[in-house]
A and B are shown apart, each in its own frame.
Chain A
Amino acid sequence: MTDVSRRHLLGGTVLAAGVLALPGLVRAQQDGPIKLGTLTPLTGSGGSYGPGMAEVVKKAAAEINQAGGVLGRPLSIISEDDQTNPEAGLRAARKLIDIDGVSAIIGTWASSVTTAVAPVCWQAGVLLATVSGADSITRLPHNGFIIRTQPNTSLQGRKFGEFALEVGAKTVAFMSPQTPFTDAQFAELTKVVTAAGGKTTSLIYDDKKTTFRTEVDQVLRGRPDAIVMGGYTTDTAVLIRDLYRANYRGKLLGFAYAVNRQLVEALPADVSEGIYTLSPSAAEGSGGYGRVAKLLGVDAPDTYACQVYDHLNLIALAMAAGGGATGAIVRDHLRKVAQGGGQPVNNAAEGLRMLAAGGKVDYDGASGPCDFTEIGDITDARFRYEQVQGGKITLLKIA
């Protein structure tokens, strides 16, 4: 008798203490709508992307709600503006976490904003899904609370290496001005090329010089059959001219943001002929991509809109798989719905039905396959491969 009542007392006390100890957001999340935040650059230098990102998340959430919500609860999306500014982003994140009580934040765009916001998120147990590319972000001690769908700069280096091998190169030279990601890119490039028995050299140049003749001579002494150009438009234009003058006839590879339309127009057609370009791409032609296009009412949604669409779907599926709506549950179950085999699915509504029926899903989204490493990077992403042909940039493939 006394035993039982003591057990009751103990149980009751633990329960009460547990409830009190739970942060307000968890209590609020016990029933009623599941709150999620979008933190996108509605203004500032990311201002051309942020509004579309916020819009696609709102509309995709409405679709999920129409299909019955997650765990029987509707999703409620709160949109905030990070102003492409770390300080403003941090304030908005605090508001989303402390006042609104969201369990996940979707969409930070600039690497500087993501870096500022991340600690607040992981300390509060809120999942942060981002589209920022800097390598350093996923190396933060985030305890699994960060995932990103933008290929990091190392992955981009690897893709350059693989593509150089694909076009038949054995000796690959890397020419780039000093940027925060130069070293990481070259290291990955080298790893891929040497693994295939090739070799690489690199030369860092000063992008303010008016000619790169001596630099080009240095690099050509190693007789490369492909040169990867890591610079921006202005210096890359000078570099391409000097390579042409030096009678270089091997392959040229560059970033699509540098070897762009204006660069091609500024060069004679025979000089730019054959240059390959790479850029991260959404999974154009995939089912998820089509859905984003339809949600936004555009033909070609940008990669960021596709990425945040995937963020929302992954979060919704992870909540359903984990049977709860907290950031920790999303963290623990996200990879179970993102990868590792299961029914392929490209939207949450369908995936939620499969999960409810006891199935296993493998989400392949609008931005790519959405498989994550332990620290939250994507393992693979689609890239756009283009080539300058007859003075026009022509799509070769998306892979």
Chain B
Amino acid sequence: MPEDVLQGWLQALLNGVVSGSLLALPALGFSAIFAVLRFPNFAVGALATAGAYAAWVVNARLGLPVGAGVAAAFLVAALVGVLLEAAALERLGRGGALMKAIGSLAMAMVLENALRFAFGNDLQAFDLPLARDMLLGPVRIGPQQINNFLVAIAVMAALWAFLALTPLGRSMRAVADNPDLARLKGVNPRRIALITVAAGAGLCGVGGTLIGLDTAIDPLLGGRVLLSVFAAAVLGGLGSIPGAVAGAFVIGIAEEFTVLALSPSYRMAVGFVVILAVLTVRPAGLLGSRAA
């Protein structure tokens, strides 16, 4: 029996890592946007859904490979994110961060219903065979999970390289650190803000696509994970890029372990208890630096 329990724990841990990697991309997008624009953009869920539908159109309707779908998801979600920012949210900026946050919730509803109007409420699935899981010693994992995990890791690595190594990435970090100083140095904050939104929204789109690959696509796909994404970003320290990744894995693993011990009705509660515990000890989040 103890062996059984251990096996259950190992499997839950693995499942948690996989679902954490799915949460990580939208959480990264959310955190990046927060770092530069200083408001929580709750449209990330809907942007993830938009990306998933874009990928689905490319894959299932146009018959192109899933890789092309992931690229399309990034581009379409980025474009939609920038449009929302430039057309609506930017103007709300004068009302403060709260106005923008509320505006982003409204935009999420508009976007979600536009998708519903275009694609209907039905479930859609990618044109992919479903593979049985492989056994790796005591635990099992599916090829799709491994793929998703690798894609998520690759995208995170690309983002890190972009931020650390390119001049544009450095400008973004500069604006995030100190917008006034960055402006003095000749960085155009609006341009950087829009680029950040594009990158953040694109990440959400890819994240949504990975969720869609793992499950199925419907207009509520992103909305369902919004709270978990938000929890991951807060846990990691709002605005911290590595923090968002760490937070996503902690939330993912915590949610899977909940299933072993508690009624699933407490899943969300466990996530928030974890946040409470972490923020009590580290008010800035796991890896946050600005304990303002």
Contacts and interface: CB of A to CB of B under 8 A. Distances in A.
B123 A247 contact: no
Interface residues of A, number: 31
A226 interface: no
A386 B220 CA distance: 28
A237 to B, nearest CB: 5
Q: Nearest 7 pairs between A and B by C-beta?
A: A266-B123, A206-B264, A266-B125, A262-B122, A213-B15, A214-B259, A238-B215
24 contacts: A178-B265, A208-B225, A210-B19, A210-B211, A210-B215, A210-B224, A211-B15, A211-B19, A213-B256, A214-B12, A215-B264, A217-B8, A217-B12, A218-B8, A221-B4, A221-B8, A234-B123, A238-B215, A245-B130, A245-B131, A263-B123, A266-B124, A268-B125, A270-B130
Contact of B22 (A210, A215, A262): A210
Given A217-B11, A266-B122, A267-B125, A211 B132 contact: no
Instruction: Tell me what chain B mostly uses at the interface: helix, strand, loop, or mixed.
Output: helix
Contacts of A262: 122-123
Interface string B203-227: 0000000010011101010001100
A234 B218 contact: yes
Contacts of B267: 206, 209
B226 to A, nearest CB: 10
A130 B256 CA distance: 43
Contact of A241 (B4, B16, B215): B215
A211 B214 contact: yes
Nearest to A247: B132
Interface of A: 178, 204-206, 208-211, 213-215, 217-218, 221, 233-234, 237-238, 241, 244-247, 262-263, 265-268, 270-271
Given A214-B260, A234-B123, A267-B125, A245 B132 contact: yes
B287 to A, nearest CB: 24
Nearest to B11: A217
A233 to B, nearest CB: 6
B63 interface: no
B138 to A, nearest CB: 11
B125 A234 contact: no
B140 interface: yes
A259 to B, nearest CB: 12
